[in-house]
Chain A
């Protein structure tokens, strides 16, 4: 049967009298059909999800190979040894109210494109720890992705963020003291 014939048949069917029951049946069919195609075409994504690949955010860790997620303990160690630059991706007002001691503020909301992010003074081979409020916020992950795109090679996302740091009573500051 040609496409035109199918379309004609469907048009004839849809020209029938209005019926709530029929409309509900068609809605259920559309939803079921969409579910089958949508889920069926993305089985590999679903498998990756159940393997825990997207627990921090929906992006491929293979694609963003320089991004690693770290715990509070690891962040604390990097802070104690001074081997990493901490980057606070929250808004400037939040940063002024308090941040991890020595952190630099790069608010993600103001720099959503690679070109808008000026990282000239910082070597791409350094270690960078990016954080935001807590594990509900996504700006640290988004900023980490931008840093990766700019060629930075070792980006650690501290997912517990500011809230976990404060809860543990670790060093904080209200000054712009990152230099």
Chain B
């Protein structure tokens, strides 16, 4: 785990910034994102729409929390959990051989491929690092008190 505060600040800005950007693009075009979710052929039409209307707001709120430094552990935990789900979806999609767009960045989305897998893994590493460093710092403080 990386504990340097400047590197952690970079992680927060990178993960937060990416999620704010991705969330805003989806908020402006919810139908496109709903179609992207439906293309994975896992969820029904109604579930796809429901997720497409809620997920972007979770991304933007958590991104803003990370960037502003408020409730870091909660925001990084939610984003890490969603990145784990995205990773699993990418792997399943690659195994099934579906040629679809990821839906990660609204209309600017790219195809599900190994590069996307790597990008998600890097973001997950950053996000988990934020969570674990926050968790251990607070634990240390608690045990010292």
Contacts and interface: CB of A to CB of B under 8 A. Distances in A.
Contact of B135 (A18, A26, A34): A18
Nearest to B39: A138
A17 B57 contact: no
Nearest 7 interchain pairs by C-beta = A34-B57, A18-B138, A58-B35, A38-B53, A58-B34, A26-B74, A58-B31
Interface string A9-47: 011011001100001001100110111011101100110
Given A30-B74, A58-B32, A37 B46 contact: no
B73 A23 contact: yes
Interface residues of A, number: 32
Interface in B20-54: 30-32, 34-35, 38-39, 41, 45-46, 48-50, 52-54
A138 B38 contact: yes
A33 B53 CA distance: 12
Main secondary structure of the interface of B (DSSP, over half): helix
B78 A27 contact: yes
6 contacts: A14-B72, A30-B78, A42-B30, A58-B49, A109-B99, A138-B38
Contacts of B99: 109
A31 B78 CA distance: 10
B70 A42 contact: no
Contact of B61 (A34, A41, A54, A109): A34
Interface of A: 7, 10-11, 13-14, 17-18, 23, 26-27, 30-31, 33-35, 37-39, 41-42, 45-46, 49, 54-55, 57-60, 109, 136, 138
A48 to B, nearest CB: 10
Given A42-B30, A58-B48, A18 B35 contact: no
The contact size tier of chain B is 35 or more
Contacts of A58: 31-32, 34-35, 38, 45, 48-49, 52
Contacts of A136: 41
Contact of B54 (A34, A54, A55): A34
Contacts of A49: 45-46, 49
A45 B30 contact: yes
B31 A45 contact: yes
